[in-house]
């Protein structure tokens, strides 16, 4: 697998005006950047875009909750992924998402699953075959993304680079919910 990394910083993904984040290949070359994205119907601070040096950009966002669906938004968020003008939907796996990050959906006709392992890494599969994994970074640590065969402009590559940001949002919301019940 090819290894890529980026350092998001302390709270870049949680602020409205996010600084661009370089995505680096293992040799240190820039393969693209992550910026704040815009998807109608998605939360401003929960939407990101990966723009590769060559190829199509990919955007992912957390769908906004309405007053009526506020509880649903907290218990089972859904995500929208856009690549090359095609929109796909992802949802957290209900039940599993109370224990760890677990998301499923379809990306350009392929069934995708992402599940957090007990070591904190997240494995991503397409049609039950591993296409990548990521280890979320911390305050000063880089986020490390391993990608099987996808090129930077492909939908799988964009999804794999952006999923760590969805994972960060999941962790922040999960921690907030846990503190409410303590």
pLDDT in tens, 107-138: 999 999 999 999 999 999 999 999 999 998 87
Alpha-carbon gap, residue 52 to 158, rounded angstroms: 8
Give me the pLDDT at residue 94, please: 77
Alpha-carbon gap, residue 143 to 136, rounded angstroms: 5
Alpha-carbon gap, residue 44 to 28, rounded angstroms: 30
Helix, strand, coil shares, percent, the chain, to 5: 20, 40, 35
When mean pLDDT is compared across 30-44, 61-75, 107-121, the lowest value belongs to 61-75
pLDDT in tens, 6-28: 987 655 556 667 889 999 999 99
What residue spans define the domains of the chain? Answer: 2-180
- Put simply, whether the predicted model's pTM sits higher than 0.95 gets the answer no
Give me the pLDDT at residue 19, please: 86
Contact, 77 vs 47, CB < 8 A?
Answer: no
Residue 2 in tokens: 């090819």
Look at strands 21-25 and 2-6 and give their pairing.
antiparallel
Alpha-carbon gap, residue 44 to 50, rounded angstroms: 15
pLDDT in tens, 81-106: 999 999 999 988 877 767 889 999 99
Q: Which CATH number fits domain 2-180: 2.115.10, 3.40.50, 2.40.160, 3.90.550?
A: 2.40.160
Alpha-carbon gap, residue 38 to 44, rounded angstroms: 7
Confidence band of 76 (pLDDT split at 50, 70, 90): low
Which of 83, 99, 82, 101 is closest to 91 using CA atoms?
A: 101
Say how many C-beta atoms besides its own lie within 10 A of residue 11's C-beta: 11
Q: If DSSP codes are grouped into helix, strand and coil, which group holds residue 147? A: strand
């Amino acid at each position: 697998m090819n290894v890529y990394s980026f350092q998001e910083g302390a709270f870049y993904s949680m602020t409205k005006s996010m600084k661009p984040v370089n995505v680096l290949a293992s040799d240190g070359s820039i393969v693209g950047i992550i910026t704040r994205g815009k998807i109608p119907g998605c939360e401003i601070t929960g939407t990101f875009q990966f723009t590769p040096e060559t190829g199509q950009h990919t955007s992912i966002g957390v769908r906004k909750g309405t007053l009526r669906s506020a509880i649903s938004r907290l218990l089972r968020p859904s995500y929208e992924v856009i690549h090359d003008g095609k929109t796909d939907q992802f949802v957290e796996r209900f039940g599993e998402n109370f224990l760890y990050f677990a998301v499923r959906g379809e990306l350009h006709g392929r069934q995708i699953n992402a599940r957090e392992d007990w070591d904190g890494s997240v494995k991503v599969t397409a049609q039950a075959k591993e296409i990548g994994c990521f280890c979320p970074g911390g305050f000063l640590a880089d986020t490390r993304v391993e990608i099987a065969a996808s090129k930077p402009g492909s939908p799988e590559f964009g999804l794999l680079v952006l999923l760590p940001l969805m994972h960060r949002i999941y962790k922040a919301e999960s921690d907030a919910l846990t503190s409410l019940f303590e």
